[in-house]
Amino acid sequence: MYLVIGLGNPDKKYLNTFHNMGFISVDRLAEKLGVEFNKVECKSVTAHARVNGEKVIIAKPVTYMNLSGQAVVELTNKYKIEKGKLIVVYDDVDIPLGTLRIRKNGSAGTHNGMRNIIQLLGTDDFPRVRIGIGKDTPMQLVDYVLSQLNEDDKTTLAPVFDSAADALLEFTQGTDIDKVMQKRNIK
């Protein structure tokens, strides 16, 4: 069984913001799998699918970004997710806008949602898909990540969301994370 977590904020006002890259990516994955987010559980809305005969739970925490770890811990405990079968997708201000970086593990960097997940799970040893949002503005970080995407941003990010969803799908198909990284990391 696989657990795919997309990070974001649940209110509609955050729908098209930089901080919702994870939600947008898992929405694309759900579309590819033909499933809908129709279940509320473990402080998340979830979609359930089968990929190559294995159950896949796709989740969007409703706890707000900085408390995402609560939902991740509840879901991993409920479904007894094995090590190596959890993957998290989120925005990353530390890499340029329009880039995609997949990592096997590592620190949270400047991302408070990831920091909370790592703290509550007690490990940083799980793969993640980072969508670069850069920050080429004097705007405060919180204002930037919660700002609305403009048309240029949407155009730049559209292929990245597709590539992120494809990477998540490959991961849930059992493709080794190193192979997913080689194929999907966008420079």
For the annotated catalytic residues, the residue numbers are 19
114, 82 contact by CB (below 8 A): no
| Spatial separation of the C-alpha atoms in residues 53 and 51, rounded to whole Å | 5
The DSSP annotation for 10-57 comes to -SGGGTTBGGGHHHHHHHHHHHHHT----EEETTEEEEEEEETTEEEE
175 — phi, psi (to 5°)? -65, 135
Structure tokens at 123: 């490990």
> Count of alpha carbons within 13 Å of 101, Cβ hemisphere only?
16
Cβ–Cβ under 8 Å, residues 174 and 85:
no
